[in-house]
Structures are given as structure tokens and as C-alpha cells.
Structure 1
Amino acid sequence: MTDDRTPQGKGSDVHGIFEKIAGYYDRMNVVMTLGRHGKWCREVAERVAPPADGRLLDLATGTGVIALEAARRYPSAEVTGADFSEEMLRRARNKPGAEKVRWQHADAADLPFEDASFDGITEGYLLRNVSDLEGVLREQYRVLKPGGRVVILETCPPSGPAKPVVQWGVRTIVPLLGQVVARDRSSYSYLESSTLAFESPQHIARILKGIGFQAIGWRKKFFGTNVILWANKPR
């Protein structure tokens, strides 16, 4: 599916970056997380825990890592992988098992789904790339069924005594890896800056609570630079 809606994010520049990095996105995720990215995606899929024959939506699906894991883990579920990057979706469609997922071009700020359409929503690295964080989460609340769960994989700014060291590492290593592995320092300089400038899990949790979500929790990963959050829509 294609449409003419403006992609989610902070302008067309963000859309252009994700179109550009699609070819080496998976490789960079593995390198930047020292191989942990796949494990986190599996945890996201495990935590969403839909009912039998449920419907799952994976937002910012990218090359489909979470969506494909969900389809493997829940073979009776209907899994939809949605993204604003056509090139990311093209690569997702060519992966083994892709026929088990419905792939859809969509804007996370204006989802093309009816109210209460899904039993669960997953997402990876969406929120730091949107201009209206609360609005995007409200859209997820709208399309989630009562009793459904959202599970979010996201970056978060480092904190605690190790904060200066971790900040230095992110500022230095991420763009360097972009240059060495992908020969694209500028795109990964953006990803580095968006990581350090993004909100804390506590802030996201407050937004989720204000929207109406309950049973909110999170677990930090990888020196506090990544986090998995979860929340339920009340029945």
C-alpha cells in the first residue's frame, strides 16, 4: 500500500535518512549493540503476548525484525508491519518468512486503522523520530483494543555516575561506526544526537499514564542507552 501522507518524523529529512540507511540498517544495529539487538526484539515480541488468533501491529517495523519474530512466535496471529519508509518495507518483504506478515506503508501520526483494531502493538525506535510524541502514542491507544498491550523498544539518554563516559561513547563511536561500516557518518550522527536528546523512560511513562495506559513498566538495556517499555490499555 502506498499513499501521499506526510511521513511521521521531524520532516522529510528523517524520512530521507531511513530511506538511505535501509541497506545496512540490520548490520549497523548488530554492530552498535554488540549483537544484542536481536535479543531485545525477541523480548519485545515475547512481552506483547497476544491472545490466540489475535491481531498485532508492529510500528516503525523497518526491515521487519520484530514483526517477523512475532509471526514466528504467534503463528495463529495476524501480524501487520507498518513503516513510513518504502525502502525499509521493500527489504522486509524480501526476508524469509515475510509472507506471514501484512506489510503496510503508514504514518504513525495518522494510522489507517479503525478504533480498537489490534490486540497488541510493538515498535522499535519510533518515538525519538516523531515531532508529536503524545499524539503518536494517542493514536496507538486509539487502535488498541481494551486489554491490549503496547511494547516499545527505544533509546534513552544515559544517566547515573557513568553518564559522561556513556555520552562520550555514543557521540564518538556511533558516527565512527557509521563511517566505517556503512560509509555514512552523517546519517548516524543524526541517530547519535537523537539518542542523547530523547526523553527518559520516566517521561514516556508519564505520557502513557496521562493518555490512560495502565500497568506501565520498563527495563533499561546496554549501559542505559536502550530501554523496553510496556503498558496496557484498560479493559
Structure 2
Amino acid sequence: MTTDSMPHGKSVEVHGIFQKIADYYDRMNFIMTLGRHRRWCREVAERAAPAAGGDLLDLATGTGVIALEAARIHPTVTVTGADFSERMLAHARTKPGADVIRWRQADAAHLPFGDESFDAITEGYLLRNVEDLEAVLCEQHRVLRPGGRLVILETCPPSGPVKPVVEWGMRTIVPLLGHLVSGDRSSYTYLESSTRDFESPQQVADLLRRTGFRDIGWRKKFFGTNVILWAAKAR
């Protein structure tokens, strides 16, 4: 790992968790979303809509689900999948179609790319795991070309009448599934708590606006526990 991609502060803990869960990450995402995760990743890739022949960056690419969907949907686009977990990237590189992706180890807070390098940026479950949310979004704004789109898949703290039931399920079922599938309750206890403590879609949208993005919207998924947000950089 290079100096620029070395995790710092909270990132050290998060890096350790994602290194640990890499072997069963896809399986747990499938189980926890009742098979919906890949469909959401496909929607993220579709909404990014980079121009033909353009460049797309998939941040927190993990095992590459969004990056691979983007490469399939947009075959003329150059896709870069970046993550700070070596083990996640190792899994991504073994998947069918992975040879067309440019895999890169990188810290989202210090992206090793020049200004205005990409026509679109996608990301999955990144923002709730970073130490400085605004700094990470500023980095994405920096490397995105004018008119480029940012599409985010993220977990969402429960709200509304179903909040008590959903919170109970998250506190109880998610760590239990982690234990049953992998013998790893502690990592999924962190992932559950980071979801409950994260910003609402409206708060993320407000921060995107302050960072310089516009045309912001979102759509909640799966009882409001996940959300897809989108925004654009001004031309």
C-alpha cells in the first residue's frame, strides 16, 4: 500500500473490518438485501450514464459489483475500480469480466487522480465509513469533469412509523446473520451501528449542495434502509 492510500484514524478500523469480511462480503449483501443488492448496483451504473468513450470511477468498489455492471452496461467506457482494501480488490480481480476494469488501491480521502479525470463517479457504501464526509465529497467533486454525474448507493438510518421495527431488526438480525454466515458478529455489529448513526438522505443532499453539486435527488430502497442518491457537477 502506498503512502497516499494508507488508512488514517477511523479508516484504520474500517480497513481492518473490510479486510476481514472480504471472503463473505457478496454472500452477506445478497442475504441482507434478499437478493436486491445487485439490482441496486445495476441502477447505480445506469444512472451514472457517462458519455460513450468516457471514464468512470467506481469508489469503494469492494468486490467490484458496480464496476462490473458499469463495464457491461457502458462497454465503450473505461472503468476504474478503486478501494483501499487489498483483499476486496483481490476478490474483484477474480470475477468474470474483471480484466476490462482498471483496478486501483486508493484512499477516498486522498484520490490519486488529477483534477477533472472522470465523466462519472459511482460508489457503494462508502460515505458512512469515512472520517471526514465533506472532504471525501470534495475529492469526488475535484476529480469529476464539469457536467459529470455522481451516483451513490448507501445505507440509510430508519425513519417514520416503521423505525422501531427496522432498528430492532438491524440490531438483532444483522449481527446474527454475520455470526451464522461467517462466525463474525463484531464486524456486522459495526456495520449495523454505522448505518443507524449515519446522515439522512436529506443531510447528505445538503452536504452535496454545499460541496458544489447540483441536480440532486434520491430514492429509498428496502423499507428505507438503503438509498440511491445522484448529483451532477455544474458545467
Q: Which amino acid aligns with 1:58?
A: D
Q: State whether residues 8 and 109 of structure 1, in contact with CA within 8 Å, keep that contact through their aligned partners in structure 2.
A: no
What letter corresponds to residue 161 of structure 1 in structure 2?
Answer: P
Question: Match of 1:200?
Answer: 200
State whether residues 8 and 108 of structure 1, in contact with CA within 8 Å, keep that contact through their aligned partners in structure 2.
no
Contact 2:48 2:151 in 1 (8 A): yes
CA change 1:226–1:9 in 2 (3 A) is farther
- Residue equivalent to 2:148: 148
1:8 Cα offset (Å): 6.5
**1:23 maps to 2:31:** no
1:34-89: CA deviations, max 9, x gaps?
Answer: 00000000000000000010100000000000000001111110000000000000
Shift of 1:211: 1.1
TM-score normalized with structure 2 length: 0.98
Task: Give secondary structure in 2 for the equivalent of 1:11.
Answer: helix
Find the aligned partners of 2:231 and 2:220 in 1 and give their Cα distance.
Answer: 15
Deviation per residue, 1:110-153 (Å, 9 max, x gap): 00000000000000000000010000000000000000000000
Contact 2:116 2:144 (8 Å CA) reproduced: yes
Q: Matched residue of 1:27: which SS?
A: helix
Letter in 2 for 1:91: H
Q: Could you tell me which residue of structure 1 aligns to residue 191 of structure 2?
A: 191
Q: Are 1:151 and 1:231, in contact at CA under 8 Å, matched by a contact in 2? A: yes
1-structure distance, mates of 2:100, 2:74: 11
Identity of counterpart residues, as a percentage? Answer: 73
TM-score for the superposition, normalised by structure 1 = 0.98
CA distance in 1, matches of 2:116, 2:50: 14
Q: Which amino acid aligns with 1:219?
A: R
Please say if 1:130 is aligned against 2:130.
yes
Does the 8 Å contact 1:150/1:230 carry over to 2?
Answer: yes
CA contact (8 A) 2:63 2:88 kept: yes
Distance 2:73 2:11 in 1: 35
Corresponding residue SS for 2:169: helix
Instruction: State the Cα distance separating 1:11 from its structure 2 match.
Output: 3.3
- Pick closer, same or farther for the CA change 1:200–1:22 going to 2, 3 Å: same
Match of 1:3 in 2: 2
Is the Cα contact below 8 Å between 2:62 and 2:88 reproduced in 1? yes
What residue identity is the alignment partner of 1:3? T
Question: Where has structure 1 moved over 2 Å in runs of 4 or more?
Answer: 4-9
1:159-210 Cα deviation digits (max 9, x unpaired):
0011001000111100000001111001100001001110000000000001
Residues 9, 130 of structure 1: 8 Å contact kept: no
Q: Which amino acid aligns with 1:52?
A: A
In the aligned structure 2, how far is the partner of 1:161 from the partner of 1:201?
17
Give the deviation of 1:13 after TM superposition.
Answer: 1.4
Corresponding residue number in structure 1 for 2:228 = 228
CA 1:71–1:9 in 2, change beyond 3 Å: closer, same or farther? Answer: farther
Aligned to 2:49: 49
Residues 71-86 of structure 1 mapped to structure 2, 5 A cutoff: 71-86=71-86
Query: In structure 2, what is the equivalent of residue 118 of structure 1?
Result: 118
Q: Does 1:100 align with 2:89?
A: no
Query: Secondary structure at the residue paired with 2:3?
Result: coil
Separation of aligned partners in 2, 1:182 and 1:70: 29
Count matched residues.
Answer: 234
What SS class does the counterpart of residue 10 from structure 2 fall into? Answer: coil
CA contact (8 A) 1:8 1:130 kept: no
